[in-house]
């Protein structure tokens, strides 16, 4: 059979993105708004977005950066700390905040204010369960005795499992999953437990990052795992199971902060997100499953309407730029200078 030359999809949404703030916004919001109708905006600013007032103020800064005539909608999230009370949750919910994010303290970029013991946020989780606010998790433990490649699995066993059981009506998204364990856990879990998967975890494994030289632009958290885990993620994303949907985790760090002796974690994928996913789905022979993953299952999980606009991708190889500009800084997108098969029209 001839390979497909063109695909039309319901317009996708991004259920996990980092837009940063200030002079980064024209770049990050411009790229996100070009790709997506809506995006779940991560709250790990410095200082973090911890309550309704912070979320509303951040939302208006984002809105001010949306290009004229574009209907992009940011969906706001608060950052859970040891001090997040039920009242903070209720006020955020009333202000339209859709989710709260659990960063175990020290797990990833800008997580210093994160939760030190999940027991500290049980009242907040109770309030979230009552009002229908979603719980999003960066699923890695941070204890130094746990190997970085095992941190997601141990988090699932020690922290996520109990939370899923203790709050049977809480809707939970395990973000940016990277292992077969995570895919398996989510597939087997009760209704209301889902996961996002990034394009980079579908396209790459740790060999891409470490063989033949260390490639800092592939470094993100949770870190790329073995090919075996990559294959399990591809299987989950392309399965048509609505528990798995698109979340880019596009996370810009300037070139200087990536290409250095202690580089930051995060891959910038918003510039070519749907094209990267199309590449991964095509390699798996599952392009027909892209629309459900990218455009249907996310809004269904969040209880939001599916988009009505469409986008079209054509098979027309194009080369990503070697670099982008973010404010006054250089930003290297993931797959910079590489050729992708699918182009948006």
Ligand X SMILES: NC(=O)N[C@@H](CC(=O)O)C(=O)O
Q: Which of 44, 81, 205, 272 binds ligand X (CB under 6 A)?
A: 44
Nearer CB in complex with Zn ion: 10/176:
176
Q: Which two tokens stand for residue 299?
A: 């809004």
Check residue 10 for interaction with ligand X (CB under 6 A): no
CB of 138 to ligand X, least distance (A): 5
Known binder of ligand: residue 102? no
Check residue 108 for interaction with Zn ion (CB under 5 A): yes
Cα 86 from Cα 123, distance rounded (Å): 6
Check residue 101 for interaction with Zn ion (CB under 5 A): no
Q: Could you tell me where the DSSP H helices lie in the chain?
A: 25-35, 52-64, 86-94, 122-131, 151-155, 161-166, 180-188, 199-203, 206-210, 227-237, 255-258, 273-283, 290-291, 297-302
Nearer CB in complex with Zn ion: 138/217:
138
Cα 79 from Cα 46, distance rounded (Å): 11
Contact 55, 45 (CB under 8 A): no
Q: Which of 24, 102, 220, 311 binds ligand X (CB under 6 A)?
A: 220
CA of residue 102 relative to chain centroid, distance: 13
Check residue 299 for interaction with ligand X (CB under 6 A): no
Check residue 258 for interaction with ligand X (CB under 6 A): no
- In angstroms, the Cα distances linking 328 to 24, 61, 128, 225 are 9, 19, 39, 33
CB of 319 to ligand X, least distance (A): 25
Check residue 275 for interaction with Zn ion (CB under 5 A): no
Phi/psi of residue 36, each to 5°?
A: -125, 155
Residues 6+ apart with CB under 8 A from 144: none
Give the binding-site size for Zn ion (rule: CB under 5 A).
3
CB of 160 to Zn ion, least distance (A): 14
Q: Which of 98, 172, 251, 326 binds ligand X (CB under 6 A)?
A: 251
Residues 6+ apart with CB under 8 A from 285: none
Catalytic residue numbers? 249
Q: Which residues bind Zn ion (CB under 5 A)?
A: 108, 138, 249
Q: List, as residue ranges, the binding site for substrate.
A: 18-20, 44, 138, 221, 253, 265
Binding-site entries for Zn(2+): 16, 18, 101, 138, 176, 249
């Amino acid at each position: 059979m001839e390979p497909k030359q063109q695909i039309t999809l319901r317009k996708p949404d991004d259920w996990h993105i980092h837009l940063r703030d200030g002079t980064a916004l024209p770049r990050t919001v411009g790229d996100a708004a070009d790709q997506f109708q809506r995006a779940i905006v991560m709250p790990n600013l410095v200082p973090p977005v911890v309550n309704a007032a912070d979320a509303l103020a951040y939302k208006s800064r984002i809105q001010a950066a949306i290009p004229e005539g574009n209907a992009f909608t940011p969906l706001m999230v608060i950052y859970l700390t040891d001090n997040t009370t039920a009242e903070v949750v209720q006020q955020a919910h009333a202000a339209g905040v859709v989710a709260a994010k659990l960063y175990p303290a020290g797990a990833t970029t800008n997580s210093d204010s994160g939760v030190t013991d999940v027991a500290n946020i049980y009242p907040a989780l109770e309030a979230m369960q009552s009002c229908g606010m979603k719980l999003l998790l960066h699923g890695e433990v941070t204890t130094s005795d746990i190997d970085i490649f095992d941190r997601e699995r141990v988090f699932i066993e020690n922290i996520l499992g109990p939370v899923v059981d203790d709050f049977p009506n809480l809707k939970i998204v395990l973000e940016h999953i990277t292992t077969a364990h995570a895919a398996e856990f989510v597939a087997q879990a009760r209704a209301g437990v889902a996961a996002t998967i990034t394009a980079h975890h579908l396209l790459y494994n740790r060999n891409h990052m470490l063989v033949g030289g260390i490639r800092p632009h592939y470094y993100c958290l949770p870190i790329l795992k073995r090919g075996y885990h990559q294959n399990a993620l591809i299987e989950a994303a392309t399965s048509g199971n609505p528990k798995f949907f698109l979340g880019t985790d596009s996370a810009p760090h300037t070139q200087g902060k990536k290409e250095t002796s202690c580089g930051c974690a995060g891959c910038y994928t918003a510039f070519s997100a749907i094209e990267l996913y199309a590449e991964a789905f095509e390699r798996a022979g599952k392009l027909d499953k892209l629309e459900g993953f990218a455009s249907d299952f996310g809004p269904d999980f969040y209880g939001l309407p599916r988009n009505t606009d469409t986008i079209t991708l054509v098979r027309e190889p194009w080369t990503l730029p070697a670099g982008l500009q973010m404010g006054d800084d250089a930003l290297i997108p993931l797959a910079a200078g590489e050729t992708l098969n699918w182009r948006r029209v």
